[in-house]
Amino acid sequence: MTTARVQKVRQILEDGQPGFAEVVLEVATAGSTAEVYTMFEDLRFTADGKIVTFMAYGGTHLHLKLDLVREVELIHKMNDRGLPSYQVCFLDQDRLPMLRVYLRKSDKAETNPPRHDLFMRLLEKYGQRVALDS
């Protein structure tokens, strides 16, 4: 089942890649948080497809082991300023976030509606929670 799980996570990433554009990748623990801004244009998968590398400016990058992802959550809500918030969370076996992808508000207002539409299509396709087989 690992192969099917890896393929599903990869499919979700690739479905979002063409339109997510300006995102913040967040990795957090109880004591620290790291955020990386990227355009979500350069996703590199290992030959076996089990690891994706999210490339950002200047060589900064994050790795995600796709075979450890047990659930993906697509979250659309209004933030504390009344603005829409979009995120894709990759959860481990304990339902703890391994990585969050936040679609940040674009400085170019005209790019926000297509990103919203893409996210809503992903929600329609996958639902809010994608539980992955073990």
pLDDT tens digits along 26-37: 999 889 999 999
pTM of the model: 0.92
Amino acid at 63: H
Tell me what pLDDT residue 77 has.
93
- Helices then strands, counting H and E runs in the chain, come out as 2, 9
> Does 68 score more than 90 pLDDT?
yes
Q: How confident is the model at residue 107 (pLDDT cuts 50, 70, 90)?
A: confident
Q: How far apart are CA 116 and CA 103, in angstroms?
A: 9
Place of tokens 């990759």: 90
DSSP 8-state code for residue 130: E
